[in-house]
């Protein structure tokens, strides 16, 4: 066997399985051994599906032996944030309360699409309770430390999904992003994380946090993996009103098209303030690699972030009002208190926030008439320490949990597609840079990412 499974991307793994260089069962067993050995320290998984994973891998091997094509992800291990339904186990959504729910009757549609493409589900991954957080320090299931520095957070709320890819426990995972819950952990863990256009990928069988803001998306270490998984996941979802209108538009064929003709700029104003110096150095590293000197302003981004806060808190708390009244002690205290505050928001505030949202979306669309891609930081700092409550950013002391999404919230607020790419400056922990486009322009985003990957600007290596 000539393939290094810990470093290989999903396409290389699937190719090795299809050609008989290695069996799907052997791949599965080797990843399971890594998970058994390292998960007690990394705490990425809340459920390891060893028995069913081996059975699924054996099915792949039998299909190949019979001359059948098992799919583009043949035998590739993957995991999902534990708010995706997995048939046969309760969907925890990071909570204690959901343990009392019956097991899911079927897989979430995104899970079933990856399985249909030949991928093998290895388990469910840790997260902030009900996706309300940016740190994955969970009072019920513990913290998921950062594989690059175990004293630091992995980010959240999809921390287990990002950390398992960064540690080489899985080559592909799924997470969700409401205000930055894919992009923040991607930045801190040094992996690729894609938040597609709102409504582009199906959410059926996913526990929602804020229905008008929630997205699903993949984590991986290569652009080929991000593009392929995105293509597989596309397609309308009759059970998800947000995912019914747009036909699939494959991105994989366009990865090698280059960046010629794309108008690229760096976001200034709000996105050039309140960050540590290395954050802006990472953006400049990417801009220089792309030959970008132009600057643009995304107007009223600070108000967009404030409005996103109001809508998120209001929509999220309303989903949990019954349990907030009847089982308040069973919530993670950090989540409960924020939900309680959200339940008290006057309705005129959220109505006004939605009005502003419509206006802000139009401003963003107008801006993308003059530019195709915008670059911005993903997080205002490198990963904070586990348990850290406050941080000093740009000379201002602020709370950690609500402010790690400083640069991500204004973008998910209007559903723009964003890829966070990892950049490693000498002697520094990973940082992410956001590649942002107009709605449904994922292909352009991924083309830029691929250019950076080929130029070796992106650093998505497995953590030691």
CB 159 within 8 A of CB 185: yes
> pLDDT for 212-238, tens place per residue?
999 999 999 999 999 999 999 999 999
| Contacts with 287 (C-beta within 8 Å, 6 or more apart), sequence order | 266, 293, 375
pLDDT at 2 over 80: no
Comparing C-alpha atoms, which of 173, 169, 141, 148 is closest to residue 158? Answer: 173
464 confidence band (pLDDT: 50, 70, 90): confident
25, 81, 195, 274: which one is catalytic? 81
Strand partners, 376: 434
CA distances 94 to 32, 80, 243, 440, Å, are 22, 12, 25, 30
Q: Rounded distance, CA 354 to CA 361, Å?
A: 11
pLDDT number for residue 370: 97
pLDDT number for residue 393: 86
95, 157, 164, 229: which one is catalytic? 157
CB 246 within 8 A of CB 440: yes
Comparing C-alpha atoms, which of 110, 108, 83, 79 is closest to residue 95? Answer: 83
CB 97 within 8 A of CB 327: yes
pLDDT at 400 over 90: yes
> pLDDT for 418-457, tens place per residue?
999 999 899 999 999 999 999 999 999 999 999 999 999 9
pLDDT number for residue 379: 98
> pLDDT for 362-378, tens place per residue?
999 999 999 999 999 99
Give the mean pLDDT of 103-117: 98
User: Is 347 an annotated catalytic residue?
Assistant: no
User: Is 81 an annotated catalytic residue?
Assistant: yes
Give the mean pLDDT of 199-213: 97
95, 154, 158, 181: which one is catalytic? 181
pLDDT number for residue 52: 98
* Secondary structure of the chain in HEC code, one letter for each residue: CCCCCCCCCHHHHHHHHHCCCCCHHHHHHHHHHHHHHHHHHHCCEEEECHHHHHHHHHHHHHHHHCCCCCCCCCCCEEEEECCECCECCCCCCCCCHHHHCCCECCCCHHHHHHHHCCCEEEEEECCCHHHCCCCCEECCCEECEECCEEEEECCCCCHHHHHHHHCCCCCEEEEEECCCCCHHHHHHHCCEEEECCCCCCCCCCECCCCCCCCEEEEEECCHHHHHHHHHHHCCCCCCCCCCCCCCCCCCHHHHHHCCCCCCEEEECHHHHCCCCHHHHHHHHHHHHHHCCCCEECCCCHHHHHHHHHHHHHHHHHHCCHHHHHHCHHHCCHHHHHHHHHHHCCCHHHHHHHHHHHHHHHHHHHHHCCCCCEEEEECCCCCCCECCCCEEEECCEEEEHHHHCCCCCHHHHCCCCCEEEEEECCCCCCCEEEEEEECCCCHHHHHHHHHHHHHCCCCCCCCCC
CATH of region 10-454, choose from 3.90.1300.10, 1.10.357.10, 1.20.1050.10, 2.40.50.140:
3.90.1300.10
Residue 163, token pair as written in the block? 């950390």
Q: Rounded distance, CA 311 to CA 317, Å?
A: 10
What's the half-sphere exposure (Cβ side, CA atoms, 13 Å) at 432?
33
Give the mean pLDDT of 180-191: 98
Q: Rounded distance, CA 200 to CA 234, Å?
A: 7
Residue 79, token pair as written in the block? 């995991």
User: Is 181 an annotated catalytic residue?
Assistant: yes
pLDDT at 1 over 70: no
Q: Rounded distance, CA 320 to CA 324, Å?
A: 6
Q: Rounded distance, CA 127 to CA 271, Å?
A: 27
> pLDDT for 279-292, tens place per residue?
999 999 999 999 99
For the chain, the domains span 10-454
In the chain, what percentage of residues exceed pLDDT 90?
A: 95
Asked if omega into 284 is within 30° of 0 (cis), the reply is no
Ranking 1-5, 154-158, 344-348, 404-408 by mean pLDDT, the lowest is 1-5
**Mean pLDDT for the chain?**
96
């Amino acid at each position: 066997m000539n393939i290094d499974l810990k470093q290989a991307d999903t396409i290389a793994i699937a190719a090795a399985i299809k050609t008989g260089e290695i069996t799907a069962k052997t791949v599965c067993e080797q990843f399971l051994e890594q998970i058994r050995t390292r998960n007690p320290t990394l705490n990425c998984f809340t459920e390891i599906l060893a028995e069913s994973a081996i059975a699924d891998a054996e099915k792949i091997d039998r299909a190949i032996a019979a001359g059948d094509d098992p799919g583009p992800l043949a035998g590739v291990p993957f995991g999902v944030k534990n708010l995706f339904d997995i048939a046969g186990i309760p969907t925890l959504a990071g909570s204690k309360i959901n343990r009392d729910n019956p097991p899911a009757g079927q897989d979430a549609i995104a899970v079933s699409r990856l399985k249909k493409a030949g991928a093998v589900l290895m388990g469910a991954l840790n997260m902030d309770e009900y996706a309300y957080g940016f740190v994955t320090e969970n009072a019920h299931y513990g913290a998921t430390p950062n594989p690059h520095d175990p004293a630091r957070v992995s980010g959240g709320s999809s921390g287990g999904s990002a950390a398992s890819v960064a540690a080489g426990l899985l080559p592909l995972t799924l997470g969700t992003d409401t205000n930055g819950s894919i992009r923040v952990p991607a930045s801190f863990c040094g992996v690729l994380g894609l938040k597609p256009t709102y409504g582009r990928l199906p959410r059926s069988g996913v526990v929602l946090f804020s229905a008008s803001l929630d997205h699903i998306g993949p984590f991986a270490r290569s652009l080929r993996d991000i593009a392929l998984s995105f293509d597989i996941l596309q397609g309308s979802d009759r059970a998800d009103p947000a995912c019914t209108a747009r036909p699939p538009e494959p991105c994989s064929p366009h990865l090698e098209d280059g960046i010629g003709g794309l108008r690229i700029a760096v976001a200034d104003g709000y996105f050039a303030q309140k960050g540590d110096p290395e954050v802006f150095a990472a953006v400049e590293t990417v801009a220089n690699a792309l030959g970008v000197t132009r600057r643009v302003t995304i107007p009223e981004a600070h108000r967009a972030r404030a409005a996103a806060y109001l809508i998120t808190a209001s929509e999220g708390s309303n989903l949990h009002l019954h349990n907030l009244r009847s089982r308040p002690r069973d919530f993670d205290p950090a989540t409960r208190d924020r939900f309680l505050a959200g339940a008290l928001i006057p309705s005129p505030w959220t109505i006004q926030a939605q009005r502003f949202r419509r206006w802000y979306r139009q401003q963003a669309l107008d801006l993308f008439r003059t530019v195709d891609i915008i670059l911005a930081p993903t997080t205002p700092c490198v990963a904070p320490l586990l348990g850290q409550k406050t941080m000093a950013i740009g000379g201002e002391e602020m709370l950690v949990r609500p402010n790690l999404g400083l640069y991500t919230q204004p973008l998910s607020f209007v559903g723009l597609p964003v890829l966070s790419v990892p950049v490693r400056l000498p002697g520094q922990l990973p940082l992410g840079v956001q590649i942002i486009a107009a709605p449904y322009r994922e292909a352009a985003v991924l083309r830029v990412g691929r250019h950076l990957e080929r130029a070796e600007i992106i650093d998505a290596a497995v953590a030691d």
